[in-house]
Amino acid sequence: MMELQQGPQLLVLACILTFVMVWKLWCHYYLFPPQDLDPEAEGRAAALLREMLSDGEHQQLLQTGYLTVPSRRVAGRVYRVPGRPGWVDVYEADRLAMRVCVEPVEHLPQADVVLMHKLMIEGNEQDYMRTANIVYVRPPAGQRWRRSQH
Amino acid sequence: MGKLRVLSIKGDRTVMWDQKQAETGDPEAEEAVREAERIFQEALRNGATAFRVSAATPATRIDRFDPEADQIVVVPRVAGG
């Protein structure tokens, strides 16, 4: 009898714990992204990113908040790298096909993370996609669902 | 002048060398090339990935230090988030 009464309580407790964990993760990544405490490092990273981007790419990042990096392996695929912490959206034939998450193992200033994505996609796309956690949104236009596209 | 830039929590660490000067036998220039190569190899041993970058062309992954490169950027090891 006691076990039957404790069942719903445990379920409620589990739900509350799950909610708290999801809330903390959401806050951590979207509301209060981790800030580098070293403004000098942030400044150096921003300067390096500016140096590595063309004028057009820099303007795009400032105006839209993301950097578009075209795939060199898959025709019609582009990666939208956010200027803030978050997922990289992958578009195929102008449709959102998947969202990928790749992070440096050690903390980097945010501008360096944007540069990391750009370099990895341009120069090492196959390993980048192999490493990434991928959430498939939809199959490319004219194709059916498949397990892997990279 | 060649430039090696290693991304880290403190921003990028930059090491510069002059390959043309090193080819003339200048010991300081040769030492600078060796130091850049040592840092490059140590980073790759730790799982980093290196890219040769130049203006107006996409980055290219390299696995060996190239003293002729204008600029090399080393990205620390990455993982799925």
**CA gap A48, A93 in Å, rounded:** 31
Range name among A8-17, B4-13, B22-31 with the lowest pLDDT average: A8-17
Count of H-run helices and E-run strands, chain B: 2, 6
Cβ distance B24 to B37 under 8 Å?
A: no
Minimum Cα–Cα distance from B52: chain A residue: A123
Q: Smallest Cα–Cα separation from A48: which of B21, B8, B80, B64? A: B8
Q: Is the pLDDT of residue A50 over 70?
A: yes
Furthest-apart CA pair in chain A: how many Å? Answer: 71
Q: What is the DSSP string of A24-64?
A: HHHIIIIISPPPPS-HHHHHHHHHHHHHHS-HHHHHHHHHH
Write out pLDDT tens, residues A15-44. Answer: 888 887 787 676 555 555 555 468 999 999
Residue A134, H or E segment: strand A133-136
Contact A133 B49 (CB under 8 A): no
**What is the DSSP secondary structure assignment for residue B64, as one 8-state letter?**
S
Cβ distance A85 to A103 under 8 Å?
A: no
Write out pLDDT tens, residues A86-145. Answer: 999 999 999 999 999 999 999 999 999 999 999 999 999 999 999 999 999 876 556 676
**What is the DSSP secondary structure assignment for residue B56, as one 8-state letter?**
T
Identity of the residue in A116, A123, A128 whose CB atom sits nearest the CB atom of B7: A116
Q: Angle formed by the axes of helices A39-52 and A110-131, to 10°?
A: 60
| Interface TM-score (ipTM) > 0.90 | yes
A-chain residues within 8 Å CB-CB of B61?
Answer: 123-124
B-chain residues within 8 Å CB-CB of A73?
Answer: none
Pick the residue of B5, B6, B7 with the most A CBs within 10 A to test the interface with A by mutation. Answer: B7
- pLDDT reported for residue B64: 97
Q: How many CB atoms lie within 10 A of CB A29?
A: 16
Percentage of chain B with pLDDT > 70? 100
**CA gap A109, B13 in Å, rounded:** 13
Pick the residue of B63, B73, B75, B77 with the most A CBs within 10 A to test the interface with A by mutation. Answer: B75
- The tokens for B64 are 């060996």
- pLDDT reported for residue B56: 75
Contact A123 B77 (CB under 8 A): no
